[in-house]
Structure 1
Amino acid sequence: MNTRLTRALSSVAFALAVLCGLAFLGTAVTHMLDDGAVCVETGFWANASLPDDLPIGAGVEASSSATRLCQDSPSVGQRAADLGGQLPWLLFASLALLLFHRLLKAVLLQGPFTDAVAQRLSVLGWFVAAGTPLAGLVVGWSQSWLSASMAPVIGSGPTVTGPQALVLAGLAAVIMGKIMREGVRMREDLEGTI
């Protein structure tokens, strides 16, 4: 096992987790204090032919194709919903990288084939498998609500966005964690009989 590479990877994962956490906090604070316009992309009218009078709320500007809506003086709820399109993935990335860092620390301290490593791999896998659709749902719901607050006729409902293939990677990590845990138990049983 190359401990130098594992130690470097652990340090990089921790640094990236801290950077994602700082980006999460910085984005939240600066965006809530900003008094600029809030915009949202919507595909609701993408294939429709619309008259000149679009059914949009007061103070909302629509692009010529009506797929981009902007509110010049957004409410606190609209600004928070706009943040809901950015923050969940930053928080998810930060927490996943922290869990990965903890996994690598356990590998460095105890070796790769231990119960602690298997358990941390399973925890990371469950977090990724459950957190990916949850973050995607929060982003989709936020964008849907923001669109509906600017153009009340939009009724497409929330969607799940983001890289949903990560669910498979998370489930693979859970399975690998279970396999490793069984391997550790078998090794302990073998050592106990010798």
Structure 2
Amino acid sequence: MVGDRKLLEPLFSAVSLVLRVVLGLVVAGFVMSLFVDGVHFASIGGDVCLAADGMSGSSSDTDAMFGAREGVTVNASPEYCTSDPSRSQQALEVLRDLPSTILMLGGLLLLNRLLRGAARDGVYTARTASRLRGLGWWLLAGSLVTTVAQAIAKAQLLATFVEEDMADALGNVWDIPFFSIFTALGLFTFARIVRAGVVMREDVEATI
């Protein structure tokens, strides 16, 4: 419906464009990794690095290196890297990065499907409300699963970089996805609003 399509702008056009660009970059990256030396797809085959965000330290050498003024100290967090990663380290690196990529691509695909369906069938339809709920569940469950998977992968990867007696000092690797959770709850709310609109329209049409 033309009227409903206008209601969905500029999000409709923006999501469609971003989805095409992201999918194009993914395909291009995969193809280049097969034929171009030095290009690695999904971090496979390259250096494996990981910053220990929960650890920090400072020294006079660090202060001087980063040009700190007198009386100012520089706190630095270590970043562990290996240019010859083992297969397990490569697998953990992929597990650390891949879930968020899947969450983003899946979310874009579901959002694109939602917007195209709403433009075609109408905003206030049961199908649109169902797709809103589906996107909300994907974002809620996906963000929680992604957080857990990445936290486990990060902790295991860090453990391969340090001595065993340092494993307990790696710091907190958990990051609760508050924004994604509240965005998902908002989608559930809008789905209920759309569903209520559908019922109201059906009542009006039945009365007429």
Post-superposition Cα deviations, 1:42-91, rounded to whole Å, max 9, x if no partner, equal 14542599xxxxxxxxxxxxxxx672222342211111111222221111
Letter in 2 for 1:193: T
Letter in 2 for 1:8: S
Is the counterpart of residue 70 in structure 1 residue 90 in structure 2?
no
Q: Secondary structure at the match of 2:185?
A: helix
1: CA distance, partners of 2:100 / 2:86: 23
Please show how residues 1-194 of structure 1 align to structure 2 within 5 Å: 1=3, 3=5, 5=9, 8-9=13-14, 11-16=16-21, 18-19=23-24, 22=27, 29=41, 31-32=43-44, 34=45, 36-47=46-57, 67-151=78-162, 152=164, 153-155=166-168, 156=170, 159-161=173-175, 163-194=177-208
Structure 1 segments, 4+ long, off by >6 Å, are none
Contact 2:93 2:157 in 1 (8 A): yes
Q: Secondary structure at the match of 1:160?
A: coil
The answer for unaligned runs of 5 or more in structure 2 is 34-38, 60-75
The answer for unaligned runs of 5 or more in structure 1 is 50-64
Instruction: Give how far 1:133 is off.
Output: 2.1
Call closer, same or farther: CA 1:185–1:20 in 2, change over 3 Å: farther
Instruction: Give how far 1:162 is off.
Output: 7.2
Instruction: Give how far 1:37 is off.
Output: 3.2
1: CA distance, partners of 2:200 / 2:4: 25
TM-score normalised according to structure 1 size? 0.75
2: CA distance, partners of 1:28 / 1:86: 13
2: CA distance, partners of 1:96 / 1:150: 33
Aligned length: 177
Flag the structure with higher helix content. Answer: 2
Instruction: Give how far 1:108 is off.
Output: 1.3
TM-score normalised according to structure 2 size? 0.71
Q: Secondary structure at the match of 2:85?
A: coil
CA RMSD of aligned residues (A): 3.0
State the identity as a percent: 25
